[in-house]
Amino acid sequence: MPNLDHPAYPADDLFHLESLVPCRESQVSMLLSIFGERQQFSFPSIFIYGHTSSGKTYVMQTLLTTLQLPHVFVNCVEYFTSRLLLEEILIQLQNRSPGTEQTSPVHCDTLNDFVRLFKQAVASQKLQDETLYIVLDRAEQLREMEANILPAFLRLQELTDRNVTVVLLSEIVWELFRPNIGCFEPFTMYFPDYSIGHLQKILSQNHPPEYSADFYAAYINILLGVFYMVCRDLKELQHLAALNFAKYCEPVVRGEANERDTRKLWKNIEPHLKKAMQTVYLREISSSQWERLQHDGGEPGQLKGLSAHTHVELPYYSKFLLIAAYIASYNPVRTDKRFFLKHHGKIRKTNFMKKHEKTSNHLLGPKPFPLDRLLAILYSIVDNRVVPTANIFSQITSLVTLQLLSMVGQNDQLDGPRYKCTVSLDFIRAIARTVNFDIIKYLYDFL
Amino acid sequence: MSTCSVSKGCFVFKPSTKKRRLSEKTDHYFRSTSNDSEDTVLRFITCQSLWSQIKSETEQIQEDMNKQLLDNLVSFLSRSHSDFQEKTTEWTSRMKFREIPTAALVLGVNVTDHDLTFRGLSDVLQNNITPYVALLEAKDCPGIKNLMQKLMGQLMNCDIDVDSLEDEDCVQVSQNKIRCSMPSLISWYESVTKKTDSETPSEKRNSSSRHWQSPPVVVVFKDMESFTTKVLQDFIVISSQHIHELPLVLIFGIATSPMIIHRLLPHSVSSLLCIELFQSLSCKEHLSTIIDKLLLTSHFPFKLGEKVLQVLINIFLYHDFSVQNFIKGFQLCIVEHFYSQPLSVLCCHLVDIKKRVYSLSHDQCENIRRLPSFRRYVEKQESGKQIELLTNDSFLKEETEKLLEDLHVYHENYVSILRCLHVFTSSLPKYPLGKQIRELHCACLENQVWETNEYESSLQLARMLNKTDLVTMLQQCVEILVSSSGKEFDKTVKHLKEFLTQFQNLEASEASQEQDVSVSSQKELQKKTDLYHLQKTLLELKESRRSKKLTKFEMLRFEVVDYIDRLVRKYLVPAGDRTLHEIVYFNAATVLRGHLNAAPRTALHTALNNPHWYLKNEALKCDGGGISNKAPDICIVYKLHLECGRLINLVDWLEAFSTVVTAAEEPNGDAASSDQVDDIIHARFIRAVSELELLGFIKPSKQKTDHVARLTWGGC
């Protein structure tokens, strides 16, 4: 295991840092060697990427705070415009030393202003002889701001002529950032995913004070056995571990087993965890509901999850409109005649269709259709006469707002609007069943 | 500003005139059309007071219906940030990820009703939980920036509303000045909660004793479906990072199903939420309650006729599921009735009837005599009385008062007996008379219910009910009749109670008898062994059972059903058969349909195809498919375009147009020979075509320059 070692920083701090960032020692030592000593100029911009919860943000934050390096930490999702982002950096910079309270609100609209104000702030904070780190978390958001923001941050050192390093954190690779016109290439660095051994080690570190570390480690082992297949997100795993630990301890608390009875404890917890995987993990039921269930000792079957409530009640004509839209979306136009005309003659599927139409329309997804076709199908599937009243038309619009239909190319309402049906086959079958309509008979794919 | 228009376009909004002038004008509207002394002012006042009664009643119902839901939500909210209050440092709470408490509120597809629910919700929240409630709508939040602006605007304003009365020095920040970011929201929250802490105890009791020290901030997304994924995701990600400093609670208003959450949010975002589901009452139940409380009661003198009720219910069930629209329709019925029926002045509570009847003018008496139901009544009287009724106003008034009182009594009885009948029919298999009381009500209003086949079959089914069911139903009927306001039911109740005691007496005697019969027949069965004899005896047994004398229970059951039948025939006479029913029943279904269920396409087609219909000009009347040249230009152009395919050649169209227009003017065909079209006709044609384009029938085509494309039927 590489021990962190750097001449510029005290060994105590480095040792403390190492204990805080398990399984990321090599990355930290790499970063430290790039950073160099406090007063040395570092690389102008560093790009760090890696999968969700691979410790990018955490490592950067712990590194900078433990070694007390001057830094600014900004999340780009939170500051969604360039103005907010730049102002936030300046505000954090001004408020670094507790004595200087923010006197006047910062106004910074452009990067030019930013460079000027940044120089002032650095001077006022007396940071000239130290490297200042600006960390931009979720940097992929920068791409959606003005085109000059990202290139400017990459060479901020050069633009401001100050000792500053910009660190970009992102979940996607650098290739997706590179602007067309080219820019300064940052130093890229990859944080690999934690392996199962890493996860085990990190999760076991924070054991509850009442129980021994070994006991908790055994629990984590079981937990990972169940969840590692579906979830490698450290945060999520930690959450799940905390949620289910009480249940694991139950036999011990009741005195039925001691802490070493791993087998007994495993038998107790395993079905419980599997149930958790199907419910809490998928957010079918909320974690507070799950905890209450655990507490009351009830079965999770009593609580219906979110996806159990798929049924949607619709007015009578809305149901038929939706059915008609579904038919129009999934049947080729030429087959309408066959389904809705009385004397259509016998048309064989094989030689009737062109080759490309032989693939299942359900695999290809819904196709757009004009309003007139929808209404024509509606008139032929509803038993009694339908008057085209304003209510019928407004129902189409409300189906669009309910996201059951979607409008294609919304340029002009008068210009023959086209729609798509966005519901699933199961949903439409359930709807059709309530009005005694056999939709399968009207779908070309099921002929 | 929003409009109720379905089309897009520019709308002019004039500054609203003063309210007082408006209300002065409205009773003027009633008066202006009917110039005679038909009590228009009184009618208007009656209408207003009736509507205000009904309105308060419906609001009360709505509040009661939502109470359960709101209570659940309030308890959820008070639970949601309990650990924020206590600031626990326990291991589990430290290790657990802090999720944003979220209530998924499934409200059903009747989006128009949601506003009322949300208003009630925000009122309840502000009274019980927190002053900080923000309601967001998707149309205001196309981006995260707008969302934050809207959110902060609402939150900070609500704070100013609370505090501005007492202290002047509160931060008067204009919305543009503040940075729309989470930190400013958090600092605002800290300053606000700190301020409430530092208030003097006496003040605290008045203003914020209902709230805790750090009340949660509730953000309501009114229409979850319409929000874009990105906005929601960004907002949730941002706020989850600050959940430790700002106790945020989200409420998602969902119209379809909670699955939409998973469709809109990826797992990485939905894992930041702690979602609990709340479901509001279905709108159908809501409607049933409204009908039960508004229509099946004798509190309100105004009644809906069968056809009208059917129209309103159909619009509800077939089109929008909106209870608000149903009530609006009901309101329209009231206004229309009081406006169009001069005698509706008598549609009032029983106490006022006498006074109003005696103050009727002569014209109004004539109006009464003209009522079809009154004429039928007169015809049934003997000749002396007939003359009196038709000539003597004061005698007529006396008679009218009596008839109106009868009508009132009829209503009271009708409702009670209807409910009794519903007790029976609602438990029959397959529900021949409908499951809901509204269906039964419509059937009874329509015609004599006892003559329908459905009634016959339901009686037949009722004759097969078992004893326990029958007894419970009878008990229910007794309860209904006892609690009803009708005065005639003492005897009926006594009768029903007698039935009940008879049923109880039966129990002991019946049991022994039954056993005897069955045992003897069983014995006979056991004796026979071969197949032929067995069959024979079984047939005989069946035969004997059919002809067998009925058991006591069966006899009693027949009696009960017959008794109910007699009650129905006596009390559930359709309202149309009652004299003077026109005064309280609103029956103009076609008017209502025209107002509520407009058919713009059909109307437009009629107007263009048959201008006589609207213009009432005899010259325009044409039979068959011919085109009259006297019709407005647009009608001619429209009719010609109906004959074309998807693309219309403008030159041909112009040719045909000029032929039609000039045909009658110069019958000798002078102009037809020259191919040059008259400039005026050309101009008229261009104007008509552009009018047609404005109406959305055609549009310029890009495929061919001198063609236009049809947009309506036959266009594809």
Q: Which of B102, B321, B598 sits opposite A390 (nearest CB)?
A: B598
ipTM confidence score: 0.89
- B200 pLDDT band, cuts 50/70/90, is very low
A234 touches chain B (CB under 8 A): no
Contact B277 A306 (CB under 8 A): yes
A101 touches chain B (CB under 8 A): no
Strand bridging mode A164-170 / A71-75:
unpaired
Q: Which of A283, A306, A403 sits opposite B271 (nearest CB)?
A: A283
Residues in chain B closer than 8 A to A392 (CB atoms): 319
For residue B187, count other CB atoms closer than 10 A to its CB.
12
Residues in chain A closer than 8 A to B102 (CB atoms): 286
Sheet with A187-191: strands ordered across? A71-75, A132-137, A164-170, A45-50, A187-191
CA-based nearest distance A306→chain B, Å: 6
Q: Would you state the pLDDT for residue B206?
A: 40
CA-based nearest distance B267→chain A, Å: 8
- Best-predicted range by mean pLDDT among A313-327, B296-310, B479-493? A313-327
Give chain B's mean pLDDT.
80
- Best-predicted range by mean pLDDT among A118-127, B310-319, B528-537? B310-319
Strand bridging mode B698-700 / B707-710:
antiparallel
Q: Would you state the pLDDT for residue A226?
A: 87
Contact A241 B602 (CB under 8 A): no
- Best-predicted range by mean pLDDT among A2-11, A347-356, B193-202, B307-316? B307-316
A384 touches chain B (CB under 8 A): no
Q: Which of A210, A370, A402 sits opposite B716 (nearest CB)?
A: A370
Question: What is the C-alpha separation between B163 and B170, in angstroms, rounded?
Answer: 8
A87 touches chain B (CB under 8 A): yes
Residues in chain A closer than 8 A to B106 (CB atoms): 309
Strand bridging mode B248-254 / B100-106:
parallel
- Note the pTM of the prediction, 2 decimals: 0.82
How far, in whole angstroms, is CA A36 from its chain's centroid? 35
Q: At what angle do helices A425-434 and A316-330 cross, to 10 degrees?
A: 140
**Residues facing residue B252 across a β-bridge:** B104, B221
A397 touches chain B (CB under 8 A): yes
Q: Which of A238, A241, A313 sits opposite B109 (nearest CB)?
A: A313
Specify whether the backbone of B14 is left (phi greater than 0), alpha (psi in -120 to 50) or beta. beta
**Residues facing residue B699 across a β-bridge:** B709
CA-based nearest distance B128→chain A, Å: 22
Residues in chain B closer than 8 A to A402 (CB atoms): 109, 111, 225, 255-256
Q: What are the residues whose beta carbons fall under 8 Å from the beta carbon of B123, sequence distance 6 or more?
A: none
Q: Flag whether pLDDT at B351 surpasses 90.
A: no
Residues in chain B closer than 8 A to A242 (CB atoms): 91-92, 95-96
Candidates A220, A402, A411, A427, partner chain B, best to mutate (most B CBs within 10 A): A402
Candidates B239, B601, B646, B693, partner chain A, best to mutate (most A CBs within 10 A): B601
- B159 pLDDT band, cuts 50/70/90, is low
Cβ B247 vs Cβ B76: under 8 Å: no
Cβ A135 vs Cβ A72: under 8 Å: yes
- B204 pLDDT band, cuts 50/70/90, is very low
Q: Which of B144, B237, B257 sits opposite A309 (nearest CB)?
A: B257
Question: What's the pLDDT tens digit per position in A326-365?
Answer: 999 999 888 888 888 776 666 555 555 555 566 788 888 8
Cβ B153 vs Cβ B159: under 8 Å: no
Q: Flag whether pLDDT at B515 surpasses 60.
A: no
A395 touches chain B (CB under 8 A): yes
Question: What is the C-alpha separation between B625 and A37, in angstroms, rounded?
Answer: 96
Contact B257 A311 (CB under 8 A): yes
* Measured torsion, CA atoms of residues B537, B541, B542, B544, in degrees rounded to the nearest 10: 130
Q: Would you state the pLDDT for residue B690?
A: 92
Q: Flag whether pLDDT at B207 surpasses 50.
A: no
Cβ B296 vs Cβ B444: under 8 Å: no
Specify whether the backbone of B714 is left (phi greater than 0), alpha (psi in -120 to 50) or beta. left
Residues in chain A closer than 8 A to B139 (CB atoms): none
- Cα–Cα nearest to A278, from A290, A268, A266: A290
Q: How many CA atoms lie within 13 A of B355 on its CB side?
A: 6
> In Å, how far are B2, B10, B16, B17 from B13, measured between CA atoms?
10, 10, 8, 11
Q: Flag whether pLDDT at B8 surpasses 60.
A: no
Question: What's the pLDDT tens digit per position in A7-56?
Answer: 778 888 888 888 888 888 888 889 988 888 888 888 899 999 998 888 89
Q: How many CA atoms lie within 13 A of A16 on its CB side?
A: 12
Q: Would you state the pLDDT for residue B55?
A: 92
Contact A314 B109 (CB under 8 A): yes
- Residue-wise DSSP of B96-116: S--PEEEEEEE--S-HHHHHH
Question: What's the pLDDT tens digit per position in B132-148?
Answer: 889 999 888 888 888 98
Nearest CA in chain A to B109: A314
Nearest CA in chain A to B701: A415
Candidates A58, A78, A94, A206, partner chain B, best to mutate (most B CBs within 10 A): A78
Collapse the DSSP code of A169 into the 3-class scheme (helix H, G, I; strand E, B; otherwise coil) and give the result: strand
**Residues facing residue B104 across a β-bridge:** B252, B277
The mean per-residue pLDDT over the stretch B452-461 comes to: 88
Q: Flag whether pLDDT at B617 surpasses 80.
A: no
Identity (one letter) of the amino acid at B160? Answer: I
Question: What is the C-alpha separation between B191 and B155, in angstroms, rounded?
Answer: 13
Q: Would you state the pLDDT for residue A347?
A: 57
Question: What is the C-alpha separation between B242 and B275, in angstroms, rounded?
Answer: 18
Q: Which of A88, A391, A402 sits opposite B319 (nearest CB)?
A: A391
Q: At what angle do helices A213-227 and A234-254 cross, to 10 degrees?
A: 120
- Cα–Cα nearest to B432, from B406, B464, B388: B464
Question: What is the C-alpha separation between A433 and B453, in angstroms, rounded?
Answer: 28
Q: Which of A80, A286, A370 sits opposite B145 (nearest CB)?
A: A80
A95 touches chain B (CB under 8 A): no
Give the residues of chain A that fall short of pLDDT 50: 1
Collapse the DSSP code of B434 into the 3-class scheme (helix H, G, I; strand E, B; otherwise coil) and give the result: coil
Q: Would you state the pLDDT for residue B201?
A: 42
Cβ B70 vs Cβ B62: under 8 Å: no
